[in-house]
Amino acid sequence: MANNAAQSPLERNNLASLDQRLAMAKHCSLEGVKAGAKAAVLASIATAIPTLASARMLPWARAHLNHTAQALIISTVAGAAYFIVADKTVLATARRNSFNQLSNVDA
């Protein structure tokens, strides 16, 4: 009985639709990971230069920012950039794909 239900045309359409949605979700998340990684690299560079320079030149920073604090500042900014950009990219890609699917249904 279970085999007959799995072979029905309605069930096959639902499985195909589920596979298509899963592939689209993987694509959206992959784009988010790529964009987030790029943002994290850029944020690391943009943060590391002034952090390391100030730790060498400014008396307050020299006294209060040891190597661990400097690494924490840089890694926090990189992590925040990664998650913010990845989230925005995944949402934008999903929204774009949703609109594309709606326009394909109307056509």
Condensed to tens digits (0 to 9), the pLDDT of residues 39-63 reads 999 999 999 999 999 999 999 999 9
- Say if 13 falls within a structural domain: no
pLDDT tens digit at each of 107 positions of the chain: 455 555 565 566 676 678 888 888 898 999 999 999 999 999 999 999 999 999 999 999 999 999 999 999 999 999 999 999 999 999 999 888 877 776 766 55
Q: Which residues contact residue 61 at a Cβ distance below 8 angstroms, ignoring those fewer than 6 apart?
A: 54, 55
Measure the CA–CA gap between 83 and 101, rounded to whole angstroms.
Answer: 27
pLDDT of residue 19: 84
- Say if 50 falls within a structural domain: yes
Continuous H helices in 58-106: 59-64, 67-106
Specify whether the CB–CB gap between 36 and 85 falls below 8 A.
Answer: yes
Q: Is 66 left (phi over 0), alpha (psi -120 to 50) or beta?
A: beta
Q: How many domains are there within the chain?
A: 1
The pTM assigned to this predicted structure is 0.75
Domain residues for 42?
A: 27-106
